[in-house]
Chains A and B, each alone.
Chain A
Amino acid sequence: MSLFLERMVNGLADGSIYALVALALVVVFRSTGQLNFAQGEIGTTGAFVVSTLTLSGWPVWVSIVVAMVVGLLIAASVERVVIRPIEHRNPGAVIVALIGVFLGVNQLNAMIWGVDARRLPSVFPDGADDFVTVFGTPLRVARLGVIGVLVVLLVLLFLLFTRTKIGLAMRAVANNQESSNLVGIRVGGVLVLGWGLAGAIGVLAAVMLAPSAGLSTTLMLSPFLLGSVAAVLGGLDSPVGAVVGGLIIGVTEAFIVGYVDFLGADMLLPVMLVILLAVLLLRPSGLFGSERVERV
């Protein structure tokens, strides 16, 4: 029981990272139909920014906010400078451009911060005795904290989308761009904002992951893949699906590594892809994706 609970919490903590990555992907996909391949790398840049700032003595939470703003600005400029000019001329070329941005940001990270892994301190107490005991199971505060960050972000996003005018505009643009124009929404601005928001969320994911995974230019490669799987599993246009998908992937991962010895950590990604394929055969639009039933 105690081991089960510990694995569950570890799975949910890792799953929270995947959920954040998936959320960022879904926010962009809903409004523009693009998969931002550079999502993970922009997050890594943000984690390096946090590293630099904390090393110069900035408080860690302030550094994270600054890094999220940096991620927002990078992602927003990618939309404005790279995606939009290309999209009108050749929609297919956007994928190539995004792979280019992925490689470019990855290389820039290496040029600025080097390729050696560095330690990023956890924002939560992470000493040997920083745990809480639940049902006799010691659970690490740092792991619970990651889950808490996801919950807080979800509440904030929910409020943004349902209680604010700009949130309504983002939902409207995701649903119908031409009609959004006709009610006076500046669609271009909303798209830039959506990319920026996704950039900031991606930074949060990287900053939450780096303390346990070690900060290097390859930090987000595997989480990005698993986050993508989570997004597809949940349904690419569903934020709820992204979160559920991320948590499912995280918990499945923890249980496979913990209980299915012969598969082990190396086989993880193939196993995840098989699960994904099975789900998509049964539900092509993902667990929560909309099949767009409409009366006309």
Chain B
Amino acid sequence: MSGAPLLSVSGLRAGYGPIEVLHGLDFAVSEGEIVVILGANGAGKTTTMRAVSGLIARQGTIDFAGHSIGHAKPDAIVRGGISQVPQGRGTFTDLTVEDNLLAGGYTVGGSLDEDLERWYGVFPRLGERSDQKAGSLSGGEQQMLAIARAMMSRPKLLLCDEPSLGLAPLITKELFQVLGSLRDEHGMSLLIVEQNAGLSLELADRAYVLETGSIVATGTGEELLADDTVREAYLGVVS
């Protein structure tokens, strides 16, 4: 579980124009760890992801695998080993499934044949539909495609922005199994932001609770699952 912190973030501030959304976040992900940031709508989950990926201006320290990436551009961050599955999948809907995957491996020099084979193996449905346009896939399939596409850049850390959004409960369950297997079978570290507390906390080694741009609680997945405030706010359990 633990080791050298792979990603370490401190004092992260970010926002849009004059509006600050994140007011100084501290969090870390160790090698081989699954970390969940739990938050409601508007808490700043997506902003956190966009800040780490370099899509928006941000202040504070972001260190990844021994390098400071707080000022790096998105393509440099992908090349450095961080890949993001965006909220709402963000697949290239007009492109075929295979072209989506090839685009995912854009930063990789050399052949992607083995990567395609590996991820078609993990997601056989994608292999069956490799020539179809991504826009014609179901929501669950698009989510799998978004994950496979993110893995094509051969990352060390996978960021997942609300992967369960808009998916049926059974599909969500399957999805979290896949995310777990990325760590167990493919040696990945994961940072997931979610509001589905039940499934995500079960999967998480550690978790943070994000409220209006600040982290208000932290602990292991089990600890937070047992926490009364968390149960009330995210699981609808009145204690």
Contacts and interface: CB of A to CB of B under 8 A. Distances in A.
Contact of A183 (B94, B106, B142): B106
Interface size class of A (residues with CB under 8 A): 20 to 34
A171 B107 contact: no
B161 to A, nearest CB: 10
Interface string B73-111: 111001100011010101111110001001110110000
A294 interface: yes
Contacts, number: 83
Nearest to A237: B94
B57 to A, nearest CB: 13
Interface centre among A178, A183, A185 (most CB of B within 10 A): A183
A182 B55 contact: yes
Interface stretch (B133-141, B191-199, B210-218): B133-141
A176 B145 CA distance: 15
Contacts of A95: none
Contact of B90 (A182, A184, A186, A293): A182
Nearest to B74: A181
B102 A295 contact: no
Interface in B112-140: 135-139
Given A172-B95, A175-B94, A176-B92, A183 B78 contact: yes
A294 B103 contact: no
B86 A179 contact: yes
Contacts of B99: 168, 171-172
A165 B103 CA distance: 8
A182 B53 CA distance: 7
Contacts of A296: 88, 139, 166
B106 A182 contact: no
A225 interface: no
A182 B84 contact: yes
A185 B106 CA distance: 7
Nearest to A296: B139
Contacts of A175: 92-95
Interface in B146-165: 149-150, 152-153
Nearest to B55: A181
Given A183-B149, A185-B75, A186-B75, A172 B103 contact: yes
A294 B93 contact: yes
Nearest to B141: A295
Contact of B78 (A168, A182, A292): A182
A293 B136 CA distance: 8
B103 A185 contact: yes
Given A182-B150, A183-B104, A186-B73, 4 more contacts: A171-B95, A171-B99, A182-B78, A184-B78
The 9 closest A-B pairs by CB, nearest first: A184-B78, A184-B107, A179-B90, A184-B75, A294-B135, A181-B74, A175-B92, A172-B103, A175-B94
8 contacts: A165-B106, A175-B94, A175-B95, A176-B92, A179-B91, A181-B53, A182-B90, A183-B150
